[in-house]
Amino acid sequence: MKEEIARLKAEVKRLKKFNDEALAHIAKEERKSRDRLDMVQAEVERLRKAGDELSWAFAFAVSRDDGKESGLIKAWRAAKEGNQL
């Protein structure tokens, strides 16, 4: 009986160590994923701002006399929202 208790305690200890190592690995991978996500979100924001600047520069250079937005500007705004015209 004492041997069985000792064996079970050793198994619990082994499993706890395995669990702790697995949780540490998961936490590390989660941090990496969050860092990648932050990087991608920052890049998307930079590209959106660049697209906004380009669309306004284009609109200024090719402004229409009737005051309506060009098709390109409408397409850019739709694309920013994930839509199509």
Looking at residue 76, its pLDDT comes to 77
Q: What is the pTM of this model?
A: 0.57
Looking at residue 66, its pLDDT comes to 58
How far apart are alpha carbons 27 and 19 in whole angstroms?
12
- 5-24 b/e with 16+ CB inside 10 Å = b? eeeeeeeeeeeeeeeeeeee
Task: Please give the chain's pLDDT, 85 residues, in tens.
Answer: 999 999 999 999 999 999 999 999 999 999 999 999 999 999 999 988 888 888 777 776 666 555 566 677 777 778 888 776 6
> In sequence order, which residues have a C-beta less than 8 Å from that of residue 64 and are 6 or more positions away?
70
CA dihedral of residues 18, 23, 26, 30 (deg, nearest 10)? -170
Per-domain residue ranges of the chain: 2-80
Looking at residue 60, its pLDDT comes to 66
